[in-house]
Amino acid sequence: MGAATAIGGMAFIKKTTDRSLSNVDDYIVYLQVKHSGSLKYQKAMASAMALYPEMEGRTDIAMKNAARAAKKKK
């Protein structure tokens, strides 16, 4: 049984969260910006990666893409 299944499945997760989880890179940026200063950040990232294994190894890419997108908006 996977992590998502253990907590009710992906439909349940999307239904009960206030964040859009359809884009992994946006979720990575959100976690980094909002929670990187927290003592539990590493544990939160590990939990998120258990739900979204495709997050692994994408933090640098997601942050660089977000920085590029922010520069374009200026």
User: Is residue 62 very low, low, confident or very high in pLDDT (cuts 50, 70, 90)?
Assistant: very high
Count of domains in the chain? 1
- Please indicate, yes or no, if residue 25 is contained in any of the structural domains: yes
Per-residue pLDDT, averaged over 7-25, amounts to: 68
- Please indicate, yes or no, if residue 6 is contained in any of the structural domains: no
- Please indicate, yes or no, if residue 11 is contained in any of the structural domains: no
Domain that holds residue 58: 20-73
| 13, 4 contact by CB (below 8 A) | yes
- Please indicate, yes or no, if residue 48 is contained in any of the structural domains: yes
Q: What is the per-residue pLDDT across 43-57, written as a single tens digit (0 to 9) for each?
A: 888 988 888 888 999
Q: Which of 18, 21, 19 has the alpha carbon at shortest distance from 10?
A: 21
User: Tokens 């253990």 correspond to what residue?
Assistant: 6
pTM of the model: 0.67
- Please indicate, yes or no, if residue 63 is contained in any of the structural domains: yes
- Please indicate, yes or no, if residue 44 is contained in any of the structural domains: yes
- Please indicate, yes or no, if residue 1 is contained in any of the structural domains: no
- Please indicate, yes or no, if residue 8 is contained in any of the structural domains: no
Q: Which of 6, 27, 7 has the alpha carbon at shortest distance from 16?
A: 7
Query: According to the model, what pLDDT value does residue 13 have?
Result: 66
